[in-house]
Amino acid sequence: MLWRKFNGDSLKLPIKEAVEQAIKRETASGYKLKVCIGTDSQVKGRETEFATVIVFLREGQGGFMFIHNEKTLVSYSIKERMLVEVAKSIEIAYELCNLFTEFNVDMEVHADINTNPNFKSNEALREAMGYILGMGFAFKAKPEAFASSSCANKIVN
């Protein structure tokens, strides 16, 4: 899986090692970190593009993110696509959660799912929330889910 920084530079290390180095570097610089993981997608013709982000927030001092893009020709209903987004976020959260525990870094999984029942994506809310919370992760949905609805959204649009 290829990951990159926001400036486009590729990460040379496997994602787990890159995240560990980032945590060590930032905490050594005196920052208290929080990590938010989210995925968004965009359908473009027959293709669906997913962007997953790992957002590192420096308490009161901005942040940075690592990005992974993926494209598929699979056709999804809106509900399926929302749940695939959540699954992609959970997959990376699960891979990294021991690091966050080891270094005492708070982590949230953000779902680009609207809490307003008037929106189509709301159909997936209950299942996505159960999936994320069932894995033991903190959960945020729109409008608090900035990792997916703002950060990842900028990558796929």
- Report the predicted TM-score, pTM, of the whole model to 2 decimal places: 0.93
Q: State pLDDT tens for residues 23-66.
A: 999 999 999 999 999 999 999 999 999 999 999 999 989 999 99
β-strands 106-114, 63-72: how paired?
A: unpaired
- Can you give the residue ranges of every domain in the chain? 4-156
Count other Cβ atoms within 10 Å, centred on residue 133.
12
Alpha helix (H) ranges present in the chain? 15-28, 78-102, 125-134, 146, 153-156
Q: How confident is the model at residue 157 (pLDDT cuts 50, 70, 90)?
A: low
pLDDT exceeds 90 at position 106: yes
pLDDT > 70 in the chain, percent = 99
